[in-house]
Structure 1
Amino acid sequence: MSDRAHANILSIDAAPALALSGVHRVLTARDVPGPNVWNIFHDEEILPSDTVHHVGQPVALVIADTQRRAQEAARLVKVEYEDLPAILTVREAVQKESWFPEVRQLQTGDVDAAFADADFVFEGESFCGGQEHFYLETMGSIAVPKGEDGELDIYASTQNPTEVQMVCAEALGLPASRVVCHVKRLGGGSVLISVFTALGAHHTGRSVRLVLDRDEDMQFSGQRHPFYGTWKVGVQRNGRLLALRARIYSNGGCSRDLSMGVLERALAHADNCYLIPNTHFIGRVCRTNTQSNTAFRSFGGCQGMILLESMLCEVADKLALPVEQMRELNMYKEGDSTPFKQKLVEWNVPQMWTQIKDKAEFARRRAEVDQFNARSRYRKRGLSLLPTKFAISFGVKHLNQGMALVHVYMDGSVLVAHGGTEMGQGLHTKMAMVAAETLEVPLDTVFISETATNTAANTSPTAASASSDLNGYAIYNACKELADRLRPYHERMSGESFAKIARAAYMDRCNLTASGHYAPPDIGFDWEKQKLHFFYFTQGVALAEVELDTLTGAHSTCRVDIIMDVGNSLNKAIDIGQIEGAFVQGQGWTTTEEFLYMPRSGRLFTQGPGNYKIPSAMDIPRDFRVSLLEGAPNTLKTIFSSKGVGEPPLFLGASVFFALRDAVLAARKHSNCTDTLHLESPATAEVLRLACEDELVELARIPREQRQGEPFVVRI
């Protein structure tokens, strides 16, 4: 792996590695039989031919008998470099205009005229850091050559079996029909790892296994995109938003990959739940010398929302208004339209906002927090009430389709194959429930073995919180067809077991296999016309209460209340588990999980669990109350009128961040600090301690003009 952030490759000497016993091959760019490029833009090489673009980029592949021998040999491969200038941070990229060519915009109304009519016009900036996926199972893949016709079986940890199949086939110069990708379950999701094992199997004729260790994984794989935004907002004296112009930049890393899709979703969520009559959002993806940043739960939506909510907090401070009052005043109403011209129907956020204020006793607890802060000097509490809406659909139309294959065996058992992958989110359980409900059979008769490209072809990735919708309806369509075929046998054999009915149908030469396909209606994405239409919005609200030790910056989350609108839940236990997990992941993103790089070398500093702090058992809210919205109108034409739930709750975890901001404000009040609080995510213990602005912080402060040299580490 490259140890340079940006450099030309002058030479690669593999002889010392090949001299070790048990080492079979060292593969470089010239050993890729097909095109040496991958990802949707084909702007990233599988193995670099002449230039490396980030620390951790694979330069060569060592194929050996054991992992230990391969790692030992890899350290002996000598690579000579010529260093090139490197850019790491999004702010530096903006300053140097280092970005990819595409620009995205959303514009409504007349922003400049609204600024002229506003009582106040404020300007500022917002930043949110990236996030490591930190799956417990690191990325891995096994490639098994079948010995004839170039056939290859790949067993991969991936959310996108079809992309693994297509990229591996292209790299090897094979038709896709010769490559089958199998996914039983996964932790870390990767495509390129499987290309490496496929290359190894192709050149050696042997099965090849690759599993990254944690340090390798974190250096190699992309993370959640850090975002930076500048904003100018016009408001009335009472807090009513009139206009917002925002320039939003993401750190895309060394290639485009999925960065444009992430940016588009960020722009489409930069309004969160608020009606802003005049808006102009402009987005760019910055090119830097870090890993190519990629998809992560919420896929840009949370970044767009936190930039806006950070702005709201600063504006509320300037107007001396409670930020919850501003949120409520500007909240969308039924029938309002978003900046991308989609009308909001069955809009339940105001109802949930009122419910949680009553149910969680917001007014009483606000008074109690204020009383606690008045009598406690060094421990402060904070509250934050936060809404969210998350658009459900892939941002490109062709991915919004699902495929399924269902077999009924003559013993009455049912085998279901579909395009979604199981990664702990309970998708296979939900899909089996759909099949059992439609076929009217017990759940334990339905089995889902794996996801594979020879049983469910041309599938979309398991992403966008749409997998239950797409694959569930495809399974329903297949099972409905089978149920219709079996109906005459049910009528003739009333009261008999499903096994006897299935055998009778088989003996009657009835086809007991059906395929299903589903493509949701009424979606489309036209960025030229700035008109987008997602299938629907999953909505929710959260109230978080925290306690902050102002002397150390340590905090605890005392209580969290959440209400989510998930439609008619397919499985309430799974959905509540998804809400809890997403919330804690969002909490970690905005509080403890900090990506730091060393600017001189471009190396990742916060590498591994010792330096990168994901939420632990101690970080989970001590009192965690999750409820699902009941009784709201629901005319959704999704599978059994359910809603996607995997990603939408994640942004609600930011309520902990904003509750901490509320606690910091209380601490600054004690110190008579009246400056506007600018708090960037993640709010680590260090950030929170310094934000309290007391006499100790003042003593430790080094004036900017007295600082020498560059910082040891930087946020990117």
Structure 2
Amino acid sequence: METQSMLVVPVGEETEFNVYVSTQWPTLIQEAVAETLDIQSSRVTCHVKRLGGAFGGKVIKTSILASITSVAAWKTNRAVRCVLERGEDMLITGGRHPVLGKYKVGFMTDGRIVAADFHYYANAGCFVDESVLISEKILLHLDNAYNIPNLRGFSVACRTNLPSNTAFRGFGVPQGVLVVENMINDVAMALGCPADQIREINMYTGPSVTHYKFEFSPDNLQRCWEECKLKSEYGIRREAVDQFNQHNRWKKRGISIIPIKYGIAFAEGFLNQAAALVHIYKDGSVLVSHGGTEMGQGIHTKMQQIASRELHIPTTKIYISETSTNTVPNTCPSAASFGTDANGMAVKNACEILYQRLEPIRLKNPTGSWESWVKEAFFEKISLSSTGFYRGHDLYMDWDKMKGQPYSYFTFGVCCSEVELDCLTGDYRTVRTDIVVDIGRSLNPSVDIGQIEGAFTQGLGLYTLEELKYSPTGLLYTRGPSQYKIPAVCDMPLQFNVYLLSDSNNPHAIYSSKGIGEPTLFLGSSIFFAIKDAVAAARSDSGLMGPFTFDSPATPERACLACSSPFIQKIPASQPGSFTAWALDI
């Protein structure tokens, strides 16, 4: 992935600056540079052509580096470029917040959970960044897909002597919901019944209300669950896994099925607005500018589709050059899986205005071409340029009253994964994964399926492979691909199926679509819980039953030790204080 990268160019004699930067939030860069140099924001223009990946790490941290670079450009009156080397980037930018989760749970013998109490401790690093917002989002997803009558949560961002952690795809939800699902698994182990039964018993059904008094319909969640069980042949494969484990001592298989209910949009209502600028030129070509940034998620492609649909012209006539603060001011960050929802509505608004202006021309010459209508409009002195604006939903969360509507809607998904584990080495192979996701009426199924596959793969890395190691003095050891293992082709499921839920509508977003950037990352945890299921089978052969601690990521070392085979049991456990740890357990 592209590291932090920027170029600051002084322009003319009026203390103007052009900033070419890889960021998710151009307006923040503009404001940060202006404040650093003590000039007006109108003298700073931020340009974003595209990003080579971001995932949240280019929202806040980029503004700090851009400010430093702008000082160098101002002092020297020359263009200054700053591009971090991979090791520097991992040291400076920070990453996803490590979270320690603890819980207490009360449940009945039939598997119904009647009460749960969660405590989360997020490692924020040396300054606050977005840690408080992440802690809040963890609490807003305490329930995941389950209707627990008595639910209490406590979340805190802990200041530590480490580089500050920042936003990362999922914004705290992948860490927090993992603890919730682990609780479900532990309840199942304590009762000696399958985990999917506990999930079904406690899942939201009918008209429902979250723990913060937000009403929603879980019908599509239930549909995703049933369709995933059907498509994945879960019942048959569950029996096959049990049979396999009975006949194999040193290889075990595990299977899990995991749901997600993910809130879309910003709880801070003012961040849900967006604007756009659309020009029609005399040759019929169209230039679209909007406030979203293209980072591989396909937002420009979708904006072209929306403009094409509203103007009734092919996408070949529509061009998006860049995202710039001198065409669309006061933008909000491309984040929270809300970029297409907000900017799409703004582009739609601008195109509707233009198409309406052309209506008299079309009525006068109904058989004319688009190009002829545009030329006639120019001669008729009709403006062929328009801004569009989307106010967004008035979302809020009142933490004093513990109620609110922090999200526009929920995106639902369910994933079933099966793994085969080598109990002697801890190595595993994902045999099959099936995903069913409710994304409403997709604007572009190819792009959205790519997002689902990419997010799942990133989640797979988060929960089974990727681990930051710090020295006892706080120095990061894992500063690149040679020390930090990310998913490779060999880590992908041998059989990988993605299904989009049919006949789904969403009245709260553009053309009844749904945001999909972040929600399916958590579904990568189905690999983690499948590994845990296989480890539980291995432990039962050693006479160990019931819940056990199994931290994420589920690396081969952790899986091997958790299996507690006769060979592992022969190794005496190290006593605290008898050794010096080579790395901190964070």
Counterpart of 1:507 (choices 359, 374, 379) is 379
Letter in 1 for 2:24: Q
Whether the aligned pair in 2 keeps the contact of 1:397 and 1:525 (CA below 8 Å) is no
Letter in 1 for 2:418: E
**Cα deviation code 1:338-393 (max 9, x no counterpart):** 11110112631111111111221111001111111111121111100000011001
- Cα deviation for residue 696 of structure 1 reads 1.6
- Asked if 1:631 is matched to 2:496, the reply is no
Corresponding residue for residue 685 of structure 1: 556
Letter in 2 for 1:332: Y
**Runs (5+) with no aligned partner, structure 1:** 1-135
Task: Name the Cα RMSD after superposition.
Answer: 1.2
- Asked if 1:481 is matched to 2:344, the reply is no
Whether the aligned pair in 2 keeps the contact of 1:254 and 1:290 (CA below 8 Å) is yes
Three-state SS of the structure 1 residue aligned to 2:420 is: strand
Whether the aligned pair in 2 keeps the contact of 1:314 and 1:678 (CA below 8 Å) is no
- Asked if 1:579 is matched to 2:452, the reply is yes
Letter in 1 for 2:9: V
Aligned equivalents of 1:637 and 1:241: distance in 2? 32
Name the CA shift for 1:346/1:490 in 2 (closer, same or farther; >3 Å): farther
Aligned equivalents of 1:490 and 1:346: distance in 2? 45
Aligned equivalents of 1:378 and 1:713: distance in 2? 30
Corresponding residue for residue 247 of structure 2: 375
Counterpart of 1:652 (choices 520, 523, 530) is 523
Letter in 2 for 1:423: M
- Cα deviation for residue 334 of structure 1 reads 2.6
Counterpart of 2:513 (choices 642, 645, 656) is 642
Whether the aligned pair in 2 keeps the contact of 1:147 and 1:205 (CA below 8 Å) is no
Whether the aligned pair in 1 keeps the contact of 2:252 and 2:420 (CA below 8 Å) is yes
Aligned equivalents of 1:409 and 1:415: distance in 2? 8
Letter in 1 for 2:21: A
Aligned equivalents of 1:602 and 1:156: distance in 2? 30
Aligned equivalents of 2:359 and 2:377: distance in 1? 10
Name the CA shift for 1:385/1:675 in 2 (closer, same or farther; >3 Å): closer
Aligned equivalents of 1:166 and 1:183: distance in 2? 15
Corresponding residue for residue 555 of structure 1: 428
Three-state SS of the structure 2 residue aligned to 1:649 is: helix
Three-state SS of the structure 2 residue aligned to 1:163 is: helix
Three-state SS of the structure 1 residue aligned to 2:493 is: coil
Aligned equivalents of 2:468 and 2:148: distance in 1? 33
Counterpart of 1:256 (choices 119, 128, 131) is 128
Give the 5 Å matches for 1:220-231. 220-231=92-103
Aligned equivalents of 1:376 and 1:273: distance in 2? 34
Letter in 1 for 2:458: Q
Give the 5 Å matches for 1:320-359. 320-345=192-217, 347-359=219-231
**Runs (5+) with no aligned partner, structure 2:** none
Aligned equivalents of 2:391 and 2:559: distance in 1? 47
**Cα deviation code 1:161-184 (max 9, x no counterpart):** 000000111011011111011000
- Asked if 1:545 is matched to 2:418, the reply is yes
Aligned equivalents of 2:243 and 2:5: distance in 1? 53
- Cα deviation for residue 703 of structure 1 reads 4.0
Aligned equivalents of 1:605 and 1:522: distance in 2? 44
With normalisation by structure 2, the TM-score equals 0.97
- Asked if 1:292 is matched to 2:171, the reply is no
Whether the aligned pair in 1 keeps the contact of 2:260 and 2:412 (CA below 8 Å) is yes
Three-state SS of the structure 2 residue aligned to 1:230 is: strand
Whether the aligned pair in 2 keeps the contact of 1:334 and 1:344 (CA below 8 Å) is no
Give the 5 Å matches for 1:589-600. 589-599=462-472
**Cα deviation code 1:234-290 (max 9, x no counterpart):** 111111010111111111111111111111111111210000101111111100111
Aligned equivalents of 1:710 and 1:590: distance in 2? 27
Whether the aligned pair in 2 keeps the contact of 1:225 and 1:293 (CA below 8 Å) is yes
Aligned equivalents of 1:699 and 1:214: distance in 2? 41
Whether the aligned pair in 2 keeps the contact of 1:138 and 1:212 (CA below 8 Å) is yes
Aligned equivalents of 1:183 and 1:176: distance in 2? 17
Counterpart of 1:409 (choices 281, 305, 308) is 281
Three-state SS of the structure 2 residue aligned to 1:314 is: helix
Letter in 1 for 2:428: H
Counterpart of 1:366 (choices 234, 238, 242) is 238
Corresponding residue for residue 169 of structure 1: 34
Three-state SS of the structure 2 residue aligned to 1:369 is: helix
Give the 5 Å matches for 1:70-469. 136-187=1-52, 188=54, 189=58, 190-345=62-217, 347-469=219-341
**Cα deviation code 1:69-122 (max 9, x no counterpart):** xxxxxxxxxxxxxxxxxxxxxxxxxxxxxxxxxxxxxxxxxxxxxxxxxxxxxx
Aligned equivalents of 1:263 and 1:688: distance in 2? 29
Whether the aligned pair in 1 keeps the contact of 2:378 and 2:384 (CA below 8 Å) is yes
Letter in 1 for 2:166: T
Aligned equivalents of 2:398 and 2:303: distance in 1? 32
**Cα deviation code 1:191-233 (max 9, x no counterpart):** 2221122111011000000111110000001201111122111
- Asked if 1:673 is matched to 2:544, the reply is yes
Three-state SS of the structure 2 residue aligned to 1:515 is: strand
Whether the aligned pair in 1 keeps the contact of 2:208 and 2:215 (CA below 8 Å) is yes
Three-state SS of the structure 1 residue aligned to 2:182 is: helix
- Cα deviation for residue 675 of structure 1 reads 5.1
- Asked if 1:713 is matched to 2:586, the reply is no
Counterpart of 1:498 (choices 351, 365, 370) is 370
**Cα deviation code 1:11-59 (max 9, x no counterpart):** xxxxxxxxxxxxxxxxxxxxxxxxxxxxxxxxxxxxxxxxxxxxxxxxx
Corresponding residue for residue 567 of structure 1: 440
Stretches of 4+ aligned residues off by more than 6 angstroms: none
Letter in 1 for 2:582: F
Aligned equivalents of 2:461 and 2:404: distance in 1? 31
Aligned equivalents of 2:49 and 2:394: distance in 1? 33
Whether the aligned pair in 2 keeps the contact of 1:520 and 1:535 (CA below 8 Å) is no
- Cα deviation for residue 532 of structure 1 reads 2.5
- Cα deviation for residue 521 of structure 1 reads 2.9
- Cα deviation for residue 303 of structure 1 reads 1.4
Corresponding residue for residue 696 of structure 1: 567
Three-state SS of the structure 2 residue aligned to 1:494 is: coil
Whether the aligned pair in 1 keeps the contact of 2:50 and 2:295 (CA below 8 Å) is yes
Letter in 2 for 1:478: A
- Cα deviation for residue 635 of structure 1 reads 4.6
Whether the aligned pair in 1 keeps the contact of 2:417 and 2:530 (CA below 8 Å) is yes
- Cα deviation for residue 702 of structure 1 reads 2.2
Letter in 2 for 1:151: E
Name the CA shift for 1:470/1:266 in 2 (closer, same or farther; >3 Å): same
Whether the aligned pair in 1 keeps the contact of 2:125 and 2:162 (CA below 8 Å) is yes
